[in-house]
Amino acid sequence: MHRILTVLAAVLFLSAPAHAAPAAEPAVSPDFVMGRPGAPVLIEEFASMSCTHCARFANGVFPALKARYIDTGKARYVLRPLLTPPQNVAAAGFLLARCAGPNGYYRVVEGFFRRQDEAYRTGDVRSALIAAAAEGGVSGPAYDACLSDPAGKAALDAELEKVGGRDVDSTPTFFFNGVKVKAGEMTLEEIDAAYAAALKANRKR
């Protein structure tokens, strides 16, 4: 768990004052996939909760992507975590999202991305994390328990290890059906083209 351990001390400042709290729920599946299981195209986004480009994509483009491809059953989507500076913010965000489980994972992610700009402007990152976590059902004692849960840190670290060999060194980076399409924010037009290419390649198999 070397990656998580390097940021653990910094993550702790984002939690509330220590007090007795129940253990967090066990970590769930590492793949939080959004969309119809049988959809022909899998869109993977490697992103960081602390990344401003990721937040801009999430707030400005992702809603249209979701409406056009995910909600209609044309594609599946999964956000794969990376930790970019400030790493403590990214780690805390992903840990809280994981604790929200499959039903709350993306509520936490989207909730923090909506608040990220204000959090950075005001310096009050902790309040943004608390509010986003609450949207996913993680609040009160569960918030503190989540950030200190060894199982959650181990699960996140396992996800971070998967980045090796995927040719990913910046966020966001997008893959369509396992093929790297772009490192950087995508426009809806670029998504349309990448989806069409992935669907065409899929049909040729």
**141-162 confidence digits (pLDDT tens):** 999 999 999 999 999 998 898 8
User: What confidence score (pLDDT) does residue 172 get?
Assistant: 98
**pLDDT tens-place string over residues 108-149:** 999 999 999 999 999 999 999 999 999 999 999 999 999 999
pLDDT per residue rounded down to tens, the chain (205 residues): 434 434 443 444 454 443 334 334 333 344 689 999 999 999 999 999 999 999 999 999 999 999 999 999 999 999 999 999 999 999 999 999 999 999 999 999 999 999 999 999 999 999 999 999 999 999 999 999 999 999 999 999 988 988 888 899 999 999 999 999 999 999 999 999 999 999 999 887 7
Q: Which structural domains are found in the chain, ordered by start?
A: 32-204 (3.40.30.10)
Q: What is the CA radius of gyration of the chain?
A: 17
Give the span between the Cα atoms of 194 and 149, in whole angstroms: 38
- Angstrom distance (rounded) from CA 68 to CA 143: 34
Task: Specify the pairing of strand 41-47 against strand 75-81.
Answer: parallel
pLDDT of 163? 85
- The residues near 81 (Cβ < 8 Å, ≥ 6 apart) are 46, 47, 48, 49, 90, 94, 156, 159, 160
- Rounded to the nearest 5°, which phi and psi values hold at 44? -110, 130
Give pTM, 2 decimals. Answer: 0.86
